[in-house]
Amino acid sequence: MAKNNLIAIISDVHANYTALETVLNEIKMLQINDIICLGDLVGYNPEPEKTVKKIREVCSEVIAGNHDRSMVEKIDKNWFRGTVQRSIDWTKSQLSQSSLDYLKKLKTRNNITIEDNKILLAHGSPEPETPFRYVFNPSDIKLIEPFIMNTDILFIGHTHIPFCYYNRGNGWVRMDQREFEINPEYNYVINVGSVGQPRDGNPRSSYVTFDLINNVINFKRIKYDIDKVHEKFNDTDLPKEFSLRLSQGR
């Protein structure tokens, strides 16, 4: 665990090494040494190999996302429209065998305990059979309740939209504060957003810190050099629409 009892939870880097590097620099400035990644290291953006190598180097826990799985096994192509399939093919051609082997070994969920908090890590959903189901709202959370009954906090990504819902026994309520103290009597579902391709209309990278001393969650946003990523797309066969959407945060 980090010396200052702070951890960072990131997700959906999607081969945007420029964004990842910016986030990691801020994490280092905060003196956070323990980083968890909730998957989708690759896909969409131009630096998959560098991204996988860096995640392997700095993260203590890494969960597999659907794009990671698409590199190493056959999955339902209905998840991916044509341009995304082009991205998958190009990305796979850029990855070393070592990186492919690493992605293949990643689990789609993991239970961990941090201090007194029972935490479940997943990419999209904690359901073993449908780990890439999207969770957006209380109705979606209701469907996964059987899988989080014994969990204090579920951390997820996948939607690229940061949010927090809590339940004190009478239904799921959205938490609007970006910084708040965890109540040990409540259950939480926390989406940490996306480092490499935010989709909430805000192009800044999103991630979460967890202060274990004060039991405080903090949603972080940080600006990175999107123009630099645009330039890197020019050296790839990736669809340019993926480059353009970065500036729009969608």
In the chain, % of residues over pLDDT 90: 86
What pLDDT is recorded for position 33? 84
What pLDDT is recorded for position 128? 93
| Helical pair 240-248 and 82-94, crossing angle rounded to 10 deg | 100
pLDDT of 131 over the 90 cut: yes
Q: β-strand 163-167 against 205-211: which pairing, if any? A: unpaired
What pLDDT is recorded for position 2? 42
State the SS3 of the chain.
Answer: CCCCCEEEEECCCCCCHHHHHHHHHHHHHCCCCEEEECCCCCCCCCCHHHHHHHHHHHEEEEECCHHHHHHHCCCCHHHCCHHHHHHHHHHHHHCCHHHHHHHHHCECEEEEEECCEEEEEECCCCCCCCCCCCCCCHHHHHHHHHHHCCCCEEEECCCCCCEEEEECCCCEEECCCCEEECCCCCEEEEECCCCCCCCCCCCCEEEEEEECCCCEEEEEEECCCHHHHHHHHCCCCCCHHHHHHHHHCC
* Confidence label for 19 from pLDDT (cuts 50, 70 and 90): very high
Nearest to 187 by CA among 206, 164, 215: 164
Pick the CATH number of 6-248 from 3.40.30.10, 3.30.450.370, 3.60.21.10, 2.40.50.140: 3.60.21.10
What pLDDT is recorded for position 75? 65
What pLDDT is recorded for position 1? 41
Encode pLDDT of 61-110 as tens digits.
999 999 999 999 876 655 566 788 889 999 999 999 999 999 999 999 99
Q: Which amino acid, 235?
A: D
* Confidence label for 156 from pLDDT (cuts 50, 70 and 90): very high
Q: Which amino acid, 34?
A: D
Phi-psi region of 15 (alpha: psi -120 to 50; beta: other; left: phi over 0): left
Phi–psi pair at 78, nearest 5 degrees: -65, -15
Pick from 70-84, 97-111, 148-162, 227-241: least confident: 70-84
CA distance 246 to 221: 14
pLDDT of 15 over the 70 cut: yes
What pLDDT is recorded for position 250? 86
Average pLDDT, the chain: 94
CA distance 98 to 47: 16
What pLDDT is recorded for position 116? 86
Encode pLDDT of 186-215 as tens digits.
999 999 999 999 999 999 999 999 999 999
Is the four-CA dihedral 121, 94, 200, 177 of positive or negative sign?
positive
